[in-house]
Amino acid sequence: MLRTHTCGELNISHLGQTVTLCGWVQKSRDLGAMTFIDVRDRYGLTQLVFNTDSDDSLRETSRSLGREFVIQVTGAVLERTSKNAKMSTGEIEIGVSKIEVLNGAKVPPFMIEDETDGGEELRAKYRYLDLRRNPIRNNLMLRHKMAQEVRKYLDGLDFIEVETPVLIKSTPEGARDFVVPSRMNPGEFYALPQSPQTFKQLLMVSGFDRYFQIVKCFRDEDLRADRQPEFTQIDCEMAFITQEDILNVFEGLTQHLFRTVKGIELGSVPRMQYADAMRLYGSDKPDIRFGMQFVELNDIVKGKGFSIFDNAELVVGINAKGCAEYTRKQIDELTEWLKRPQIGVTGMIYCRYQSDGTLKSSVDKFYGEDDLTNWAAAFEAEPGDMMFVLAGNAEKVRKQLNELRLEMGNRLGLRDKNTFAPLWVLDFPLLEWDEETSRYHAMHHPFTSPKPEDIALLDTNPGEVRANAYDLVINGTEVGGGSIRIHDRALQSLMFKHLGFTPEEAQKQFGFLMDAFEYGAPPHGGLAFGFDRMVSIFAGLDSIRDVIAFPKNNSGRDVMIDTPSTISDLQMNELKIKTTV
Amino acid sequence: MLRTHTCGELNISHLGQTVTLCGWVQKSRDLGAMTFIDVRDRYGLTQLVFNTDSDDSLRETSRSLGREFVIQVTGAVLERTSKNAKMSTGEIEIGVSKIEVLNGAKVPPFMIEDETDGGEELRAKYRYLDLRRNPIRNNLMLRHKMAQEVRKYLDGLDFIEVETPVLIKSTPEGARDFVVPSRMNPGEFYALPQSPQTFKQLLMVSGFDRYFQIVKCFRDEDLRADRQPEFTQIDCEMAFITQEDILNVFEGLTQHLFRTVKGIELGSVPRMQYADAMRLYGSDKPDIRFGMQFVELNDIVKGKGFSIFDNAELVVGINAKGCAEYTRKQIDELTEWLKRPQIGVTGMIYCRYQSDGTLKSSVDKFYGEDDLTNWAAAFEAEPGDMMFVLAGNAEKVRKQLNELRLEMGNRLGLRDKNTFAPLWVLDFPLLEWDEETSRYHAMHHPFTSPKPEDIALLDTNPGEVRANAYDLVINGTEVGGGSIRIHDRALQSLMFKHLGFTPEEAQKQFGFLMDAFEYGAPPHGGLAFGFDRMVSIFAGLDSIRDVIAFPKNNSGRDVMIDTPSTISDLQMNELKIKTTV
């Protein structure tokens, strides 16, 4: 080894030892008689000292070092005169007797510090330098630790990790596929998997019993800060189980991760029906770190001559505790925020429960003291609270009120990143209506089983059919989702029929799976966690980018390696393709 | 859970308990008064008995079950009258009191047995049934166990697993890339990685210090039994190390795997120079489970009037111990085998050391008793041995003799699959001459560092330059390879120059890496194991196919899911590509 120790491990117990360290120059202070240099590696920082006893060439070298130079130093471990209790190595320093510059460094385009001065584009281009910064490195070490713990937990429960193929078949269902032209089969293409769904089901048919994989998946979708064309799933499947078994196993995994990685005892995960989540939070992924549940007011506000409420399908509001003192300006600003096109509220009604016990609303013309007292009772409001009310189409107004609730949660400091509130959301609808294509789509995917008691509704009222489907939500973010699958050919065919497939189309795309169901398919089900998302929640980050070593930007580009890029005519000729740009 | 126990865990200690099992019907014997059924799951087999006490419907159901039906049974654990010591559950049976058929099964197209009657194509099409067979399932469980142990070992040495991107940039160096058209960047393509080489080097520049990843890699090459378009590497890199450190760490990994997975103490791994491997075995991956090293005869056979030897660059042979009794027919057959085009030997000379102590060769006309005694001395031959000798161009004849040596090793039973002989081959050449393109290619890849003392030879005698490169060979198969990398921009540029890149080409393709070397790159190096190959050696298999859950055939097709396949015009339009078939 080029070193005897890392830059993070020396302390007072090593006094007097001669050691050799390697690392990067973090900073350097030349005090005339002495030069101090902090040398950094993945494990920590150690202070080096070059004093007047050092020979001339050593002093010269020490003064010539720039930031990020790579050095190897040998010297004695000395006790510091001024100790730094914040550093694990803060009690010692190395009196350098020998130094070698292993590599020089140009001045980095941004500061390699926890808080850097580099913009996003610059840091993306020099990602290898951005990765030197502690926060980013810590995210990736957290990710590694989480992956190890996932494997430990699942291996301990007899799950087997099986690698499924990356070059698979393009299917029209779901998001857009990335495709790969086949040179050996000209005119034909592979697709990259959006998930290993059908393969893991086949592994259940094969009797693997318990499967998992931490696996890259791919979706060619337009990107947001929160999406990447390639992302990682913790993909799991079990046979001979009920939904209850799956919830228990993966609640256990979640608890295990919080315990081993963050030292948090999570406790048992509460459960909520999809229908209740929509009614009480206007979202299938409620953030239950705080209450502020929706209160429906139709019964008490209608028929008082206020046409907006009278004509609305739903009048619904939230109680913003302690916000009665909001100024007119604050309310106007909030209303403007709600009127932005992405939310689209046309107007908001409010009612203050003033500290003197009186009630004051923006619709006092229509609602008297008695009415507002009824409102306050419905909201379980107290003096000092503020009630915000929206009205309109039920589905739309719930979505809007969800936005308002989350925003008020932010403003009131109710969404602490160090508080973790997991939730199972259960009994999702099987199908959802798609206006654009005028047909039902599978809400999860076509392999999700309907609740047996709802199958009869498939013909009469497809939108009402509930699925054996569940999501794990943490702090308002969906981190995992899954279902009990169909394991019967007839039911799977029926499902494809309701999704608008002809029998021929279904056979062509998914015949292998339906055939497999005829050779002894066990009852099975599973779940997939979004691993990037899970790590970002553990790291307290909003975006998944900083938990991915080499992410792509919003145009799907890696600006560091400059890809995608053109390929040669020779390559295209071999693949028998042409671009039509 | 649908079961209380698995089919592999019940024994005499469970007597009298009422249990519920789930699984597949392996076989069924109807003896009139009693019906016996073996039910199978991943964990084992359990015998079920339906006797005359069973009610009619139970008896009827038991008789209606076909092979591979999926059942759930409840009953009491009973002691068997005739025990089967070969099965872990062989002392008990279940007296079934309740049965439910969870799913039926058509008659499988081949037997789900250790030795099946299904041909390769049929088993590929129904891979989900082939995967039910014990040998295949055991391979995948071995693979899982090995992956877990790799991670445990490397995590214990502070290696971090970092996921590198799958959508990267196409580069002309190396094998052919699979490419992925970018919809968001029309006319441009991503490539799938042949290895994460440049990314892992960047992680070293970033200070990650110790990286690993078990990762899918892709090569669009024409396929052999032993190659797959997608394969898995254990990819590793370390900073601030010497070659010696790398050899020690990964020798340790190899020992750890043999110890934990196979219970074998491997001992330390011998080392051999590349030049010696070529001289003594005619191969850079010698199988050292057996000796039979090459003996060079130029000094003792030339100048005796035998023109084939006199005109040959190299005369070289092996001693086939104990083969003196080979008949003329056997020798002719062996010679024919050597004459096949893929080996291309024109003729073989032999010399028997007969049991009476006399020597008899196929070239007695030119070589007398004294000459042959010299031969025998060179070969360290004893009575009963057979010397086989080839002559010709040195490089070619060594390759041919390597084939003969391996074949004789097979015939003499010297290549036992349960014996494991690892070997480090060191100091590979940096460059190799490519006749087709009339230039030097990097033998490993362009990032491999030359030995410092050989750099001067780059201008004068490039073929002589040795690299800091090493392979791990087990039983004649390369299972891993790596090198100490270049970490200096100037040397990397020089290397690209010698590989025929213009400075502009080098900058366009690998500028990001050379730029990174200017911002403080530490000395680093690493290695990658072929994981599929490694598992197949542990499993005692010749092909990697049966250690891959869903492999592709020699045309790169997955016949089960029928891919590659055509995609829609809509997809091609969105991607701005056209096929030209």
The CATH code of the domain that includes B353 is 3.30.1360.30
Test A185 with B581 for CB contact under 8 angstroms. Answer: no
Asked if the C-beta of B108 comes within 8 angstroms of chain A's C-beta atoms, the answer is yes
Query: Which one of A41, A189, A577 has the shortest CB-CB distance to B209?
Result: A41
Q: Which two tokens stand for residue A414?
A: 């109710």
Mark whether B75 and B23 lie in a shared domain.
Answer: yes
Q: pLDDT tens-digit profile of B26-67?
A: 999 988 888 999 999 999 999 999 986 668 888 889 989 999
Mark whether B444 and B464 lie in a shared domain.
Answer: yes
Q: How many CA atoms lie within 13 A of B304 on its CB side?
A: 18
B221 annotated to a ligand binding site: yes
Kindly list the distances between the CA atom of residue B552 and the CA atoms of A215, B279, B538, B560, in Å, as whole numbers in the listed order.
19, 37, 21, 9
Q: Which two tokens stand for residue B392?
A: 């010709």
What average pLDDT does this structure show over A547-560?
96
pLDDT at A54 over 70: no
- Which residue, among B567, B570, B576, B581, would best test binding to A if mutated, counting the most A CBs under 10 Å from its CB? B567
State what percent of residues in chain A have pLDDT above 90.
Answer: 92
Mark whether B407 and B454 lie in a shared domain.
Answer: no
In the block, tokens 């009139």 appear at B32
Closest-CA residue of chain A to B520: A105
In whole angstroms, what is the distance from residue B346 CA to residue B354 CA?
26
Residue A566, domain member (yes or no): no
What average pLDDT does this structure show over A240-258?
98
Residue positions counted in chain A: 581
Tell how many helices (H) and how many strands (E) occur in chain B. 17, 23
Query: Which one of A140, A170, A187 has the shortest CB-CB distance to B160?
Result: A140
Residue B79, domain member (yes or no): yes
- Report yes or no: A171 and A198 within 8 Å, Cβ to Cβ: no
Asked if the C-beta of A138 comes within 8 angstroms of chain B's C-beta atoms, the answer is no
In whole angstroms, what is the distance from residue B421 CA to residue B476 CA?
8
pLDDT at B225 over 70: no
Q: Which two tokens stand for residue A457?
A: 């509704």
Looking at the structure of chain A, the number of domains it has is 3
- A422-426 and A349-353 as β-strands: parallel, antiparallel, unpaired? unpaired
A9 annotated to a ligand binding site: no
Q: Give contacts of A186 with chain B, Cβ < 8 Å.
A: 579, 581
Mark whether A304 and A212 lie in a shared domain.
Answer: no
Test A181 with B183 for CB contact under 8 angstroms. Answer: no
- Report yes or no: B10 and B77 within 8 Å, Cβ to Cβ: yes
Residue B339, domain member (yes or no): yes
Closest-CA residue of chain A to B138: A208
What average pLDDT does this structure show over B519-537?
98
Test B520 with A104 for CB contact under 8 angstroms. Answer: yes
A228 annotated to a ligand binding site: yes
Mark whether B309 and B402 lie in a shared domain.
Answer: yes
Last residue of a domain, one of A368, A385, A411: A411
Q: Give the model's pLDDT for residue B314.
A: 98
Mark whether B142 and B265 lie in a shared domain.
Answer: yes
Q: pLDDT tens-digit profile of B464-475?
A: 999 999 999 999
Mark whether B230 and B314 lie in a shared domain.
Answer: no
What average pLDDT does this structure show over B152-175?
93
CATH number for the domain that contains residue B187: 3.30.930.10
pLDDT at B109 over 90: yes
Q: Give contacts of A550 with chain B, Cβ < 8 Å.
A: 164-165, 199
Higher model confidence: residue A60 or residue A247? A247
Last residue of a domain, one of A85, A103, A121: A103
Query: Which one of B1, B24, B561 has the shortest CB-CB distance to A241?
Result: B1
Mark whether A427 and A405 lie in a shared domain.
Answer: no
Kindly list the distances between the CA atom of residue A353 and the CA atoms of A317, A360, A423, A516, in Å, as whole numbers in the listed order.
14, 7, 32, 63
- A18-30 and A35-41 as β-strands: parallel, antiparallel, unpaired? antiparallel
Q: H or E segment at B473?
A: strand B469-474
Query: Which one of A70, A179, A523 has the shortest CB-CB distance to B522?
Result: A70
Asked if the C-beta of A180 comes within 8 angstroms of chain B's C-beta atoms, the answer is yes
Residue B132, sorted as left (phi over 0), alpha (psi -120 to 50) or beta, turns out to be alpha
B220 annotated to a ligand binding site: yes
If contacts are CB pairs under 8 Å, which of residues 425-454 in chain B contact chain A?
Answer: none
A261 min Cα distance to partner chain B (Å)? 15
B442 min Cα distance to partner chain A (Å)? 21
Q: pLDDT tens-digit profile of A327-338?
A: 999 999 999 999
A259 min Cα distance to partner chain B (Å)? 19
**Longest alpha-carbon distance in chain A:** 94
Mark whether A261 and A148 lie in a shared domain.
Answer: yes
A532 annotated to a ligand binding site: yes
Residue A559, domain member (yes or no): no
Residue A425, domain member (yes or no): yes
- Report yes or no: B24 and A520 within 8 Å, Cβ to Cβ: yes
pLDDT at B561 over 80: yes
**Phi and psi (nearest 5°) for A274?**
-50, -45
Residue (of B52, B9, B8) closest to B31 by Cα position: B52
Asked if the C-beta of A232 comes within 8 angstroms of chain B's C-beta atoms, the answer is yes
Domain hosting residue B98, numbered range: 12-103
Q: pLDDT tens-digit profile of B337-364?
A: 999 999 999 999 999 999 999 999 999 9
Q: Is B79 exposed, middle or buried (0-12, 13-18, 19+ CB in 10 A)?
A: exposed
Q: pLDDT tens-digit profile of B396-453?
A: 999 999 999 999 999 999 999 999 999 999 999 999 998 888 889 999 999 999 999 9
B113 annotated to a ligand binding site: no
- Which residue, among A74, A561, A581, would best test binding to B if mutated, counting the most B CBs under 10 Å from its CB? A561
Q: Calculate the average pLDDT of chain B.
A: 95
Q: Which two tokens stand for residue A517?
A: 């169901």
Mark whether B149 and B242 lie in a shared domain.
Answer: yes
Binned at pLDDT 50, 70 and 90, residue A267 comes out as very high
Q: Is A481 helix (H, G, I), strand (E, B) or coil?
A: strand
Q: Calculate the average pLDDT of chain A.
A: 95
- Which residue, among A110, A139, A160, would best test binding to B if mutated, counting the most B CBs under 10 Å from its CB? A160
A448 residue type, one letter = T
In whole angstroms, what is the distance from residue B575 CA to residue A40 CA?
46
A265 min Cα distance to partner chain B (Å)? 25
Residue B16, Cβ neighbours under 10 Å: how many? 8
Query: Which one of B108, B205, B518 has the shortest CB-CB distance to A519?
Result: B108
Residue A485, domain member (yes or no): yes
pLDDT at A174 over 80: no
Test B216 with A216 for CB contact under 8 angstroms. Answer: yes
Query: Which one of B41, B189, B209 has the shortest CB-CB distance to A207?
Result: B41
Q: Is B388 helix (H, G, I), strand (E, B) or coil?
A: strand
Mark whether A174 and A294 lie in a shared domain.
Answer: no
CATH number for the domain that contains residue B34: 2.40.50.140
Last residue of a domain, one of A84, A103, A122: A103
Residue B279, domain member (yes or no): no
- Report yes or no: B428 and B471 within 8 Å, Cβ to Cβ: yes
What average pLDDT does this structure show over A452-467?
93
Q: Give contacts of A72 with chain B, Cβ < 8 Å.
A: 240
Residue B344, sorted as left (phi over 0), alpha (psi -120 to 50) or beta, turns out to be left
pLDDT at B387 over 80: yes
**Phi and psi (nearest 5°) for B293?**
-65, 155
B533 annotated to a ligand binding site: yes
Test B181 with A22 for CB contact under 8 angstroms. Answer: no
Q: Which two tokens stand for residue A366?
A: 């229509």
Mark whether A227 and A297 lie in a shared domain.
Answer: no
Test B192 with A180 for CB contact under 8 angstroms. Answer: yes
A256 residue type, one letter = H
Residue A114, domain member (yes or no): no
In the block, tokens 């099409």 appear at B125
